Structure 1
Amino acid sequence: MQRRGLLIILSSPSGAGKSTLARRLMDWDPSLAFSVSATTRAPRPGEVDGQHYHFKSRAEFEALVEGGEMLEHAEVFGNYYGSPKGPVEAAMAAGRDTLFDIDWQGGQQVRNSSLGKDVVSVFVLPPSIAELEKRLRGRAQDSDSVIAGRMAKSRDEISHWAEYDYVLVNDDIDTAAEALITILRAERLRRERQPGLNDFVRGLNQEFVARQTGEDA
């Protein structure tokens, strides 16, 4: 029975493991679509339009927003970022789930959009603040000032945990990944997500009637 696709929102403070969990989920089910964001910033070396981002002019982006074609968007450091609605709707109609790696503000906009009833949101927490900082430093990618900024921002991000359907504490990546897979499996089986169930049960009832008619004959 074909079902309607889901919108899976993953959010967390930087360093809590959101991106790793997203990769684990897509490795488990390669049919998952990943929502490729649109942006008005210039492409960086090696970035491919449509793969890393949908690169748009400011006018093009604003036209998409005005036309209701963005599920969520925000302006960050003078550039727009957002999630186009069209690819998500196409995936949903085909019964494919779409994964969003966005912050709590973007998640809030998607939940309040016309597709909000199909959202499953998951917030990922670190096991401790000390471990969160350790993970950020373990990347060896950012300066002390950048890490300090990420740590300061994490407190505000964590304060929104109660707005999500599910909350995972990522103290072990394998355990957290299995829990995320379990969530998706269960959400896919919800009655309201399986539009073919009505016809299926109607067919079962017709079988009952046919059997009864045969017995009466």
Structure 2
Amino acid sequence: MAGILFIISAPSGSGKSTLVSETRRLVGGLDFSISYTTRQPRGSEQDGVEYHFTTRAEFERMIAAKEFLEWAEVFGNYYGTALSALDHARENGTDLLLDIDVQGALQVMKTMPKAVSIFILPPSPEVLERRLRNRSQAEGVAEESVIERRLSQARTELLKLDDYRYALVNDVLDQAASEMRAIVLVARGAGDSADVALAAECLTSQHSGRLDAALGTFGL
């Protein structure tokens, strides 16, 4: 079944991009929507690969022209998903993965209630802080204020977790990728009994012990 919209959200530094890449390796027919942003490229990021990097003036023109499925301003920069991404997926007969922040995800959930929403969270704030520091050092930018701001934002975003259908704790990549693969297959009606059981464990309505343990480390 093509045409399913998967919404993926996670606090910055949760390993979302790696997990999405691994899931796409395991499951075919998943198109990835490349978002537009006004922030500057980090490290080895390339235009048209990780993001479409654009100017603030051009982004605001696209807003005015209603060219976005969703958009939001995060940490002083715009991020948005072009409507054309949906058209492209339909033309290719594929499902679409949207990697978007919580603000944008809530917009899409409201306009497209059949979308499959998945929240990815790190196992603890300590792990998240370590990932953020490692990424900052790799990019040559290790501003303490930026790391603290992202840690604070992560706690705020976690408060919206129950608005999502599924939640994954990204502590072991292979396990998280298996869970996301199961969710995709079940949404397509192609999963076996093991996939159905694995996906069910990730439902936010169930709040598994693993999920609650991770939330507890954030004081939630």
1:49-98 Cα deviation digits (max 9, x unpaired): 43343344555433432333201112345543211011222303432111
The residue identity in structure 1 corresponding to 2:173 is I
Query: Which residue is equivalent to 2:116?
Result: 120
Question: Relative contact order, CA 8 A, sep 6+: which one is greater?
Answer: 1
2:165 partner letter: D
Instruction: Give distance in 2, aligned partners of 1:47 and 1:127.
Output: 26
Match of 1:10 in 2: 8
CA offset digits 1:11-39 (Å, max 9, x no partner): 11122221221111122235422111123
Q: Is the 8 A contact 2:70 2:80 kept in 1?
A: yes
Q: Distance in 1 between matches of 2:128 and 2:46?
A: 31
**Counterpart in the other structure of 2:24:** 26
Q: Distance in 1 between matches of 2:53 and 2:144?
A: 31
Q: Does the C-alpha gap of structure 1 residues 61 and 96 become closer, same or farther in structure 2, counting only changes over 3 Å?
A: same
Change (3 A) 1:59 1:50: same
- CA distance in 1 between counterparts of 2:41 and 2:167 reads 34
Relative distance call for 1:80 and 1:126 in structure 2 (3 A) is closer
User: Which string of whole-angstrom CA distances, capped at 9 and with x for unpartnered residues, describes residues 195-217 of structure 1?
Assistant: xxxxxxxxxxxxxxxxxxxxxxx
Counterpart residue number, 1:143: 143
The answer as to 2:136 corresponding to 1:130 is no
TM-score (structure 1 length as normaliser): 0.73
Distance (whole Å) between structure 2 residues aligned to residue 110 and residue 126 of structure 1 = 23
**Partner letter of residue 125 of structure 1?**
L
Partner secondary structure for residue 93 of structure 2: coil
What displacement does 1:40 show? 4.1
**Identity score, percent:** 46
Task: Determine the C-alpha separation between the residues in 2 that align with 1:55 and 1:133.
Answer: 26
> Comparing 26-35 with 47-56, which one deviates more in the overlay?
47-56
Name stretches of at least 5 consecutive residues in structure 1 with no aligned partner.
Answer: 191-217
Alignment of 1:186-205 (within 5 A): 186-189=186-189
Deviation at residue 133 of structure 1 after TM alignment = 2.2
RMSD: 2.6
> What is the CA–CA distance in structure 2 between the aligned matches of 1:172 and 1:185, rounded to whole Å?
20
C-alpha distance in structure 2 between counterparts of 1:15 and 1:43, whole Å = 16
TM superposition shift of 1:7: 1.6
Instruction: Find the structure with the greater CA-based Rg.
Output: 1
Structure 2 length as normaliser, TM-score? 0.72
Tell me the amino acid that sits aligned with residue 124 of structure 2: S
Match of 2:69 in 1: 71
Contact 2:31 2:96 in 1 (8 A): yes
